[in-house]
Structure 1
Amino acid sequence: MYWKRVMVGLVGLHASLSIAGYEQGVDEYQRGNFASAIYEWRQSAEQGDADSQFRLATMYERGQGTTRNLEEAHKWYQLAADLGHLPSQMKLAEQSLNGNGANASPRTAAHWYKRAAEQGEAQAQFQLALLYLDGRGVEQDAAEAARWLEAAAEQDVIPAQNNLGSLYENGLGVEQDHSTAIRWYQEAARAGDPYAQNNLGAMYARGKGVDRNHAWAVFWFAMSAQQGNEVAASNIASSLEHLQSREVKPRVANIRAGTSTEHDVISKVQRGDALHVLGSTDGWTQVYVPQQQRLGWISSSLLE
């Protein structure tokens, strides 16, 4: 019993020294004493402190306070990753996928992404899902991809939400469900993802999972096109044909970015110009501005 108590005390002392060494390294780094930081981190890294191992690896990777050495960086990342250190696992996965500091190996990348994903790391879940979708480093498995995409999507990884919507739309790895596809497209589209905005526009244009609504289709296509998505820009035309057009009454009128005269003027139109109308609210009408491939607002009183 005596020896057990002594061993517990030694383990606690060892951990305390490692933490102290890590914190001393941080202090030295913040002062710009990179060589001293490396010294402190190496001491605690050799005692098995994962945070110190990670910081030491980054110094070798960047060449701060020492000669740049990607192999040495990889070694310390590996030691920390084996201890469950999430940033190290992510770094190893990225290195393995890109061949930076190690031979490119999608299989190794998948291994580390999975280790991190199982700890709840959202970006690892997303990257692992992409590997399963493409069959890189793992057997292609749409169902497994969907599982990890959903885990990442629930943590608000926007591209994962869009990709998950696509799987539900097409019935890949999950039972086809257009309503669920709409849900995930909406999440990503509202967060500003141009691909989800285009996909959501297409769902409205076709009436998949929602009632067909060309005004909403144009809205989302335009939001996507405004971010440079050429596919969305080309999709707008077919839905514009279904919208009501109204002509401008005054000789010149302003189209604004919002529903008040305090908003910026984004375009000017002339008497007789026909504008495609999406809807109206509080005396303002939302229209599509083809010259700029974007949406704008005009006072409803200025339209026939």
Structure 2
Amino acid sequence: MLQVDNNMRMGIWWGVAWLGAALSASSLVYANYSTGLAEYRKGNFASAIHEWRMEAERGDGESQFALGQMYEAGSGVRENLEEAYKWYRLAADNEVLDAQVRLAELLLSRRIDGRGVEDAVEWLERAATNGHIDAQFQLGLLNLEGYGTEEDAAQAARWFELAAEQGHISAQNNIGSMYESGRGVEQDFSRAFAYFTQAARQGDPMAQNNLGALYARGRGVERNHAWAVFWYTAAARSGNDVAKGNIQSSLDYLEESSIAATRVNVRSGAGTQYPSITQLDRGESVYVLGEMEEWSQVYFENSGEPQLGWISSRLLQSSNAY
């Protein structure tokens, strides 16, 4: 985590990609031996293994990769990490990028005796150089931490940025944090803002909190406490407790209003065509973030939790003046 101050913490997401891989149907879509794949999808794991083994022994890399996953997961066969390693290694040598990454993950998990994490770094570099997005992200983590390789923040930033440009959400947040702090790169708040925005719009809670902090401070963007509250609230509703604690610091700069009618519908959008998400009673407080076509976007608390919604502006009355 990167510290900004006692109230707003800008952080790096470390991810859990290499803590152990679980087999899933979606992870096997690359198997090019169609008969084995068809058997797998029907749940006939033993038949799938039989078909893939025949093709794998003929040197087909995708079948080798699929077979390795079956041995790692213990699907249709007794779990055997040495066998998984063997097939992953053959597939990796056949330039199957997903196999190179899975092989690295297995090595990093330290579930294979006698093989070091340095080998994992080499396989990740091989896949990352060929554009594998997860390999690029994981190399960024390893270089940042100095795990299996020398600590190198500049190299970490390079890998994070490559993954971020391909749309990796956690990489977008991480490289944004590095541009915000100037670690491994020249400090650039505008670029930090751009990367946090990309990740925040895709729903990443840490990036949403980080973006809110930039709006609150006016770094890389004009200071705007309404947008700060918007992104803090989005992050808080996704479980980011740091963001929840940051909201009040920006609410102090916004107009406080109260409900002027007996009971009003709070809607999900600016208009009666949008569904009601809750109701508020006369005198209850809200904070106005902005207005559009005589509707106000408001912040309020519902059962102690932060929430955003829209209320007809005519149903509000100002509680304070700025």
CA contact (8 A) 1:250 1:271 kept: yes
In the alignment, structure 1 residue 38 sits paired with structure 2 residue 64: no
After TM superposition, the structure 1 = structure 2 runs for residues 4-153 of structure 1, keeping only pairs within 5 Å, are 22-26=33-37, 28-29=39-40, 34-101=45-112, 105-153=116-164
Distance 2:91 2:227 in 1: 50
Q: Give the alignment partner of residue 284 of structure 2, picking from 265, 273, 280.
A: 273
Q: Give the alignment partner of residue 246 of structure 1, picking from 257, 263, 266.
A: 257
**Cα pair distance change 1:34/1:215, threshold 3 Å:** closer
Q: Deviations over 1:58-89 (max 9, x none)?
A: 23223344333221111111111122111211
RMSD: 2.1
**CA drift at 1:103:** 5.9
Determine the structure 1 residue equivalent to 2:9.
none
Determine the structure 1 residue equivalent to 2:272.
261
Structure with larger Rg: 1
Determine the structure 2 residue equivalent to 1:6.
none
CA contact (8 A) 1:38 1:65 kept: yes
Determine the structure 2 residue equivalent to 1:295.
308
CA contact (8 A) 2:212 2:231 kept: yes
* Aligned partner letter, 2:233: A
**CA drift at 1:45:** 2.2
* Aligned partner letter, 2:168: V
Q: How many residues align?
A: 284
Distance 2:206 2:295 in 1: 29
Instruction: Choose 284-293 or 39-48, whichever is displaced more.
Output: 39-48
Distance 1:270 1:36 in 2: 64
Q: Deviations over 1:27-79 (max 9, x none)?
A: 55456554444344333323322122112222322334433322111111111
Instruction: Choose 263-272 or 24-33, whichever is displaced more.
Output: 24-33
**Cα pair distance change 1:43/1:169, threshold 3 Å:** same
Instruction: Choose 23-32 or 48-57, whichever is displaced more.
Output: 23-32
**Cα pair distance change 1:142/1:297, threshold 3 Å:** same
- TM normalised by structure 2 equals 0.82
**CA drift at 1:279:** 0.5
Determine the structure 1 residue equivalent to 2:233.
222
Distance 1:128 1:163 in 2: 12
Instruction: Choose 267-276 or 209-218, whichever is displaced more.
Output: 267-276
Determine the structure 2 residue equivalent to 1:14.
none
Q: Which runs of 5+ in 2 are unaligned?
A: 1-31, 318-322
Q: What percentage of aligned pairs have identical amino acids?
A: 54
Distance 2:42 2:312 in 1: 59
CA contact (8 A) 2:81 2:112 kept: yes
CA contact (8 A) 2:216 2:250 kept: yes
CA contact (8 A) 2:285 2:300 kept: no
| Larger helix percent | 1
CA contact (8 A) 1:74 1:102 kept: no
Distance 2:301 2:36 in 1: 58
CA contact (8 A) 1:225 1:294 kept: no
Instruction: Identify the structure with bigger relative contact order (alpha carbons < 8 Å, sequence gap 6+).
Output: 2
Distance 1:278 1:53 in 2: 56
Distance 2:209 2:40 in 1: 46
Determine the structure 2 residue equivalent to 1:160.
171
**Cα pair distance change 1:282/1:104, threshold 3 Å:** farther
* Aligned partner letter, 2:287: H
- TM normalised by structure 1 equals 0.86
Q: Which runs of 5+ in 1 are unaligned?
A: 1-20
